[in-house]
Amino acid sequence: MVGSALKRLMAEYKQLSLNPPEGIVAGPINEDNFFEWEALILGPEDTPFEGGVFRTTLNFPTDYPMSPPKMKFTSDMFHPNIYPDGRVCISILHSPGDDPMGYETSAERWSPVQSIEKILLSVMSMLAEPNPESGANVDASKMWRDDQEQFVKRAEKLVRKSLDL
């Protein structure tokens, strides 16, 4: 299983290197270990995160792509769909199959046809359009719903911090 996961990760790395999506740079932290990646995500235009450069890690299981990777922001983040410790809560990263809570359809969850590029683009989209109904960070969800001006100020501080300003 490790061999096929490694082949798939190497192929995805090659594709991302040859044709990177706009605003994303990603690859293995160390080319001796293709199961641990780092990605830099540019804050999407016309969002509170615009202009920021946010660092993330992706840790791939040995049965990838049968199971999804774990993704975590290592840059400070305050977002409804990002846990306070940086873990990303997004449907595409949830294990395949039916949601035991009945919130997501199996089509929204991980499947082996997904890719690293799709994950990263989904996270960029999540930054642009949070889902406060699926709050991983209750404080951020509440602020997004009740005080968008304060949320924007907090996000702008994170943008400056991500740029070491």
Q: Could you tell me the CA-to-CA distances from 79 to 48, 61, 137 in Å, in that order?
A: 10, 26, 7
Catalytic residues: 89
What letter would DSSP give residue 26?
E
Q: How far apart are CA 121 and CA 103, in angstroms?
A: 22
What letter would DSSP give residue 79?
B
Angle 68-85-79 from CA coordinates, rounded to 5°? 85
What letter would DSSP give residue 87?
B
